Amino acid sequence: MKSTLEITGKSIYRGQLSLVSIAAAITILTGCENFNAAPVEFSQQDIVTVGDVETIELHGRVLSSLPVTLPEVDPDQAELGRLLFWEPILSGDKNIACGTCHLPEHGYTDGQSRSIGVGGVGRGVNRTVGHTGRVPRNAQSVLNTAWNGITGLGLFDPATAPMFWDSRESSLEKQAIQPIESLQEMRGESIATEGIHIEIERRLNNNSVYREAFATAFGIGTIAMKDVAQALSVFQRTLIANNSRFDQWMRGDATAMTARELSGMQEFVIAGCADCHSGPLFSDFTLHVLGLPEGTGLEAPDQGDGNFAFRTPGLRQLSLTAPYFHAGQFASLDDVIEFYDEPRKSQNPNVPSAMLDEELLEVPEMDGGRGNLIVDFLKTLDDDSFDRTIPSEVPSGLTPGGD
Ligand code: HEC
Ligand code: HEC
């Protein structure tokens, strides 16, 4: 119990230490088994403002809030992009939209281990597998992708923003074309790769609502695929969730995080999670080999010489985006913690243990309550206040989101 009082009494609650908070901390921490978390060594006094983000350096790692300034977007382009995001007309058989796999209720993912595109029926966790099976990967969230690639100091470049689990594409604009061309995701067998652009452009140019909307938003008479990609990208840059309790604490609200959560934040850094999960999105945006267990139908990523190196994912909105990892290998955050509990050897037969990332091998034991503290901290990165609007209708007259 000694460490409990040390945590609570440390400078974070300077001047605000109350009997209530001590009592609350004791009640919570008694469930904390035999793990003695180190007293929290930092306070809000250590926060440094850099441009548009608040940063804090702990054990040489930088954690940051997200920018407060929203990306600049043209409102007409964004609204057009929203319609296109939910528009099944962009898929070969007119029954799948971007929103089929990127649903607001799942933090703009789909709740599936690996996504189900062509041939699937239904939505979210209820979507059933069709004749083309599942795509090789877990759907990523599109929330905050406006900031993909952001550094601890808040610097980012939308033109080179890494996209996909293996960072094989850069920028939202280039990414947006890929699912439309992909047989399993949206194209289907009825139209060949070479034909899909012409077909989608033909459909949109034949629709007077879209012709007018593109004329207003982009000042163009004929709609081309690059304009579709741009509208989708502009819309996705409006899907922001930058006001988690962690962000609020970093911006000065001492009540936004509990003593226990701050202790979890420190454990997150001490355990080495922040060696890879750092900066405002909790990602270094580089590729690492973790040697995860492999599901069926998985492919080696396009980058990384077939060694199953994947990009560190961001850690925001995790409460909504299960299952986790590139193929949805783990259903819960507790399962994730179990994976990180002293990883020693590769669980992927194609990845020799010698290839595992060094930082991964340094992650210490998670038992005795350390893992629980870290999970509590991860939950402070949730922000429920994002835009969940699904248009009630789309210009094709098809069902928004398909099916
Ligand atoms: C069949 C399900 C499905 C559909 C439909 C789909 N996506 Fe995705 N999306 C995924 C999956 C799976 C990934 C991860 C793919 C990978 O890494 O190989 C992904 C990744 C992304 C990413 C990358 C996010 C990041 O942080 O790297 C963006 C952005 C995105 N999708 C936007 C879109 C847009 C825009 C559309 C419509 C044009 C779309 N998606 C249609 C399943 C889907
Ligand atoms: C060596 C770098 C590295 C370290 C250290 C590391 N991670 Fe990760 N983390 C990754 C990468 C890379 C992935 C994605 C791997 C994949 O899917 O193949 C990942 C995935 C995750 C995910 C799944 C996120 C999602 O959206 O699917 C969570 C949660 C997570 N890590 C938490 C942690 C925690 C907690 C720690 C510390 C105990 C930690 N990580 C340590 C690199 C790292």
Is residue 255's pLDDT more than 90? yes
Mean pLDDT of 80-87: 98
In angstroms, the CA 84 to CA 86 distance is 5
Measured from the Cβ of residue 393, the count of other Cβ atoms closer than 10 Å reads: 11
> What pLDDT, on a 0 to 100 scale, did the predictor assign at position 301?
63
Q: Whose CA is nearest to atom 33 of ligand 2?
A: 273
Q: Answer positive or negative: Cα dihedral of 102, 402, 77, 169.
A: positive
> What pLDDT, on a 0 to 100 scale, did the predictor assign at position 18?
38
Q: Whose CA is nearest to atom 25 of ligand 2?
A: 324
pTM of the full predicted structure? 0.92
- CA 140 to ligand 1 center in whole angstroms: 6
Q: Is 360 in the pocket of ligand 2 (CB under 6 A)?
A: yes
53-58 and 48-50 as β-strands: parallel, antiparallel, unpaired? antiparallel
Split at pLDDT 50, 70, 90, the class of 388 is very high
**Interval 182-200: pLDDT, tens:** 999 999 999 999 899 999 9
Q: Whose CA is nearest to atom 39 of ligand 1?
A: 98
Is residue 31's pLDDT more than 60? no
- CA 312 to ligand 2 center in whole angstroms: 6
Q: Is 103 in the pocket of ligand 1 (CB under 6 A)?
A: no
Q: Is 109 in the pocket of ligand 1 (CB under 6 A)?
A: no
% of the chain at pLDDT higher than 90? 80
Would you kindly state where each structural domain of the chain is located, as residue ranges? 75-145+171-236
Question: Quick one: CATH architecture of 75-145+171-236?
Answer: Orthogonal Bundle (1.10)
> What pLDDT, on a 0 to 100 scale, did the predictor assign at position 396?
98
- CA 359 to ligand 1 center in whole angstroms: 28
> What pLDDT, on a 0 to 100 scale, did the predictor assign at position 344?
82
287 φ, ψ (degrees, to nearest 5): -90, 140
Measured from the Cβ of residue 128, the count of other Cβ atoms closer than 10 Å reads: 9
**Interval 272-326: pLDDT, tens:** 999 999 999 999 999 999 999 876 555 556 555 556 899 999 999 999 999 999 9
Residue 104 preceded by cis peptide, ω within 30: no
- CA 291 to ligand 1 center in whole angstroms: 23
In angstroms, what CA-CA distances link 366 with 127, 187, 264? 35, 44, 12
> What pLDDT, on a 0 to 100 scale, did the predictor assign at position 307?
64
% of the chain at pLDDT higher than 70? 88
Split at pLDDT 50, 70, 90, the class of 48 is very high
Is residue 3's pLDDT more than 90? no
Question: For residue 171, which ligand has an atom nearest its CA?
Answer: 1
Q: Is 336 in the pocket of ligand 2 (CB under 6 A)?
A: yes
Across 141-155, 158-172, 289-303, 336-350, least confident range: 289-303
**Interval 325-380: pLDDT, tens:** 999 999 999 999 999 997 789 988 888 899 999 999 999 999 889 999 999 999 99
Q: Whose CA is nearest to atom 29 of ligand 1?
A: 142
Q: Whose CA is nearest to atom 13 of ligand 1?
A: 139
In angstroms, the CA 54 to CA 256 distance is 15
> What pLDDT, on a 0 to 100 scale, did the predictor assign at position 7?
32
Mean pLDDT of 114-141: 94
Atom of ligand 1 nearest to the CA of 85: 37
> What pLDDT, on a 0 to 100 scale, did the predictor assign at position 19?
36
Atom of ligand 2 nearest to the CA of 308: 18
Mean pLDDT of 116-129: 94
Mapping DSSP to helix (H, G, I), strand (E, B) and coil, where does residue 368 land? Answer: coil
Across 22-26, 41-45, 87-91, least confident range: 22-26
Query: Which residues lie closer than 8 Å to 50 by C-beta, 6 or more apart?
Result: 64, 153, 154
